[in-house]
Each structure stands twice: as structure tokens, then as C-alpha cells.
Chains A and B, each alone.
Chain A
């Protein structure tokens, strides 16, 4: 148990805190001067799975691009297709999705009443789920869309693999969360939560686990648009934040390295070494679908049997938020992710570079990011 503080003042000044100030935490806690940081190490679309998958997917998992192509263009009886009638047509459908029925295809939505997620609207609606631990009113209609798509299912859905792999290999998706004005990591009814994009790699220990206590610099140069200040509270060691529209870094193969979520919030079990739980909100269907198409090519979707055009129809059908003012049709769909962080020290400036924060000079918020 370390009972000392030993950072050179110049380094300490770069942190969003002044080290050495006693807190309610243990003396060696990385919660220092009311500040603690975390770096994201895992993120998966929240998919509740029954032991054999029969509860949520009684018909099995969905067909993917290959299987749907075979159904749409059967090669029986010597039929010969033209390129424009098959591949090009299918590609065009992917980039121009509609809600028209797909009579030859059958998309299997997740069934049942259980889903992982958060109650986003504070209500218990007719289509809402109940969480595995019994909380009613769970808003996660995206689960109906993706719950029976192999790409997202654990433990080895293809996207789950790719997203974790890219998180380890690359830095553009580094997602930092910093908590400030924390009096107590167990109970505090008002804390400040700031989101950043970092630019340093995750570090693993000799067993391959992500190591708490690493240092991450904020990407102030290209990551200003990822900086958000939120209000939160900690109750019984669980952090929750007030809803806010945010855009966070996203792991992907190519295309759109971020994801925008409306009324985004987290529910995280905090320890001095880690944070684990959920984030949830409403995703704009058109943007989400477009990013999905840009980020993951057909071969990625084929690995995990992901039928995009069918998913689009399901998203539109199950949309439950942000109605279009003109048509009244919902434009967004509730969604949740399971997320894991390890504790990290977040540096607000690096040697020789002037920190350029979007919140510089923004009054009280300036202090929150240690500028």
C-alpha cells in the first residue's frame, strides 16, 4: 500500500488534478484530488443469450449475405444470371435500403422478454424488456434486430473479435473517461464526467490482461469533437450519468471511426482498478446503418451472417425514439453496449505541445479538464 506521492510537479501539473490531496479513498488509490480516469478495453453490443439460444432465437440464427444470395438467386436448373441482376443489384439494395417487404427472405428477430440494457425513458412500456436481474422497462429494441445475428453473439461473434482486436492494435479508438470532483468512489451524488479520445496504446501484462495504471494522453489535436462534459452520480459504487448526445470513438475496419448516440448514458460499477457495466442510448437509424455499411464490408458481414437489408427493415420497424416532426415516424432505436475499462492516468498536455481543448476558457468547465 503506497502511502506517498512522488510525481514531479511538472508532471503532476499535466494531470487533471493536484496530487497529494487526501481523499476519502485509501492512500494508494488512483483517485487523487477527486480525480480518477479510465480507459476503455472492451465494448460489445449488449446481447442477452439463453444457455442454448432457444429462448431468444427459437428459429436459430439469421442467414447472412451468402445464404440470402443463394435464396434470392438460386442456381438451379441451369439458370444463368447477369451480373447486374445479382451482385450489383444486391449491392444497390444494401446502399439504398427500403422498408418494403422481402418476400423471399425471413429475418429472425430476437424473441422473449429479457434483454440487457437500461431504462432510457423512465417508463415501463409494452415492448420493453426486463433485465436479467429483474429490472423492468429496459429499452433495447436493437436487441430485437441484432440478437439473433451471429456477428454480435458471444463468445466469438466475428464483430466481437474484430472490435477487440482493433482496440488492441490501434489508437484511434482510444476512449477515455475521467471523473472529477469525486469525494467518494462509493457514494457521491454529484461528480463530473468528461469523455475524451486518447492517443496511446493499451498496455497488457505478461498474462495478456489490460493493465490498470497506464498513462494516456488526450488527443487534443484531432479529438476535440470527442470531448464531452456530463454530470453524474455514484451510488453504492455504481456511476450513472445524465443523458447527453455524444459521439465516441468506434473500432471498425474502415470508414467511420466514431458512433453518435443520443441520450447516451452509462451505468458503471467502479473500483479503483476498473469500471464495468453498460452504456446505452438511442442510435439514429440512418446514420447507424450507413456506418455499418461503410465500416464492415460484405466479407466481414459474411463471417458473422449479418443481413444488412433485413436489419434495416427491422430497425425501422422497432424504432422507438426521436420521431420525425413531419411524419411522426421514429428515427432512432434504443441500444446498449457492455463495456469494460481499466483505471488510467489521463494526461492533459504533452511535452512541447500546447493543449488545445474545446473547453479552454469555458468557465467552470475549464477546471474539470485541468487546463
Chain B
């Protein structure tokens, strides 16, 4: 679906934020970009719906190179939605309804069609009772949902989210993750996430890219990547807590644990039960 070829981006102050990145992902994938602050995640994702232009290299969306005239950008942005990290940047209208309606109105739909899309999007994110409220009435988690609804109302095929879980409480994080997984499953929406929340990644992503200083240093499934603990530490990240526990149990206590560490609670449970059975024998 997306193909990036030797993409580089240099900011006007001279910082090389993206350094020769090539990658591609398919329709319906759930992809996470993991990296520390300043590793280039946001800059990379900003290229995918035309917010930033590459300094060099090419981006293809469905085999066509991105064009940057107003009409092509509108078509691209209808198909590729971007949810920003700080919902206060994104929610600018005076009410939830007006904000969610902004995208569809820009696409030139009729008022009735827009109302339909707004309602549908707000039902999906569970915010329909706040339709007439102004954004400053909402909590952080609620704002994030409305920001997501604003993108959903444009019926995108790809949703890009920058730090979807930052500054949310645990319940709000788990709600938004479930919502994203549901969108991916039911509507086949391709999801691209930038995050530094390592514990969230295995719950969400099928494919993981590790970014460091503007370069992709590793790619693969969360399982293969997190079993390489040295690499993770080298780029100043850490493994998920559960993987770390199993790594210590294996290396310090010599327990016969599989090479790919469990990353989630359910995987850990399986591994523990397997271990108990082998020791019983």
C-alpha cells in the first residue's frame, strides 16, 4: 500500500531527522514505530499524508508517487487520516459536532451526508452524547476519541496515530487500543502508530520498526525484535516488563525458557504453564 524509497528529511535548521529510510507496508496491517523522543517517528509519519515533503527519496501510495498539489493532497488526506499527539492541536472547532464535521465538509459532502458520517464516527468512538459540547468540556481521553472521530468521519483507509496513548490514564489507554483493534478488524483500516510505550506494542502491532536517530535499525514482528535485548538497549529503549522478567529468569536462574520471550500476559501464562508441566515430568 505504502512504499518508501530512500526517504530522507532534513529540517531547515540542518537536523537530519530521517536518514535514508526504505520500507513498505500492506493494506490492513497494524504497524508500530518505536523509538525514543527525537528518533524521527513523527517526522516519518508526517510524510505519509503529505504534511512534510521528503528532502530526497520517494513515497508511493498504491504504486503512485505522492503529488503535492491541492487536489491530490485532498484525495490523499481523505484516504490517509492523521491523529495528532496533542488533541488540543487538532480540536479547533467550538463544538464536538463542528469539529468532527470539518473533514467531511472539506470533502464537499452534502449536509445530510456529513451529519450521517459525524453520527457514525461519534458512535464508533463512543462519544455521541457529547455531540454538542465544546472541546474544553472534555477530559484528555475523551478529546483523543473525538480527534479520532474527526479522522474516522472522512472514512480513511489508513489511520496514522502519533503517540495514541500518551498522557492517558490506564483505562483510557486500554479503551483506545481496543477501539483501534476493532477498527482494524471490522473495517480493515490500516493502522500506523508512533509510540514509545513498549508495553503497548505487543498488544497492538503485527509489525514493528525500531527507529534510532532517523534510521530504521530493526524491523520484524514484536516477538523477534524484543528477543534481541541488546539491540533494544542500544537504542535506549527497554523490553516490555514481562519479556524482561523472562529474560532475567532465563539468564540469571537458568530456567528453560523459549528463545522468543513472552510479551503479553496471555503469552506469559502459557509459558509458565508449559514450564510447570516440564518440571513436573
Check if A and B associate. no
